[in-house]
Chains A and B, each alone.
Chain A
Amino acid sequence: MVEGYTGNIIQRHSDGRREGEYDAVDVDFVLLPDPTFALLLSELKDLGGRIWNKEKVFVTIDHFAPPSTIERANIAKAVISFAKAEELPHQSTYQGICHQLLIEGPWLRPGMLVLGADSHTTTAGALGCLATGMGSTDILYTLMTGKTWLKPPGTVRIDLKGKLLPYLMGKDIILDLLGRFGEGGFLYQALEFNDNDGALPMDDRFAVCNMVVEGGAKNGLFIPDKVTRKYLENRDGQSGDWGECFDEKPLYLNRMEVDISTLHPKVALPHSPARVVDADEIKGESIQQVFIGSCTGGRLRDLEMTARLLRKKKIASGMRLLISPASQKIYREAIEKGFLQTILEAGGVILNPSCGLCGGIDKGILGAGESCLSTSNRNFQGRMGDPSSSIYLASPATAAASSLAGRIIDPREVMS
Chain B
Amino acid sequence: MTSVAEPLGLEAGRMAGVRFTPLRAAAVLGALAVLVLVALGASVVLGEYPVHLLGALADPASPDGRVLFGLRIPRAVLGALVGAGLAASGSALQALLRNPLADPFVLGVSGGAALGATLALALGLLTLAGPPLFAFLGAVAAMALVLAAGRSSSPYAALLTGVVFNAFAAAIITCIKTLLTPDRLGEVLYWLAGSLGYERPRTLLLGTGVQLLALGVLWAESARLNLLSLGDDEAASLGVPVHRTRALVLLAASLSVAGAVALAGLVGFVGLIVPHLLRLWLGPDQRLLVPASALGGAAFLVLADAATRVLFPVFHSEPPVGVVTAVLGGPLFVWMLNRREHPA
A binds B: no
A residues within 8 Å of B by Cβ? none
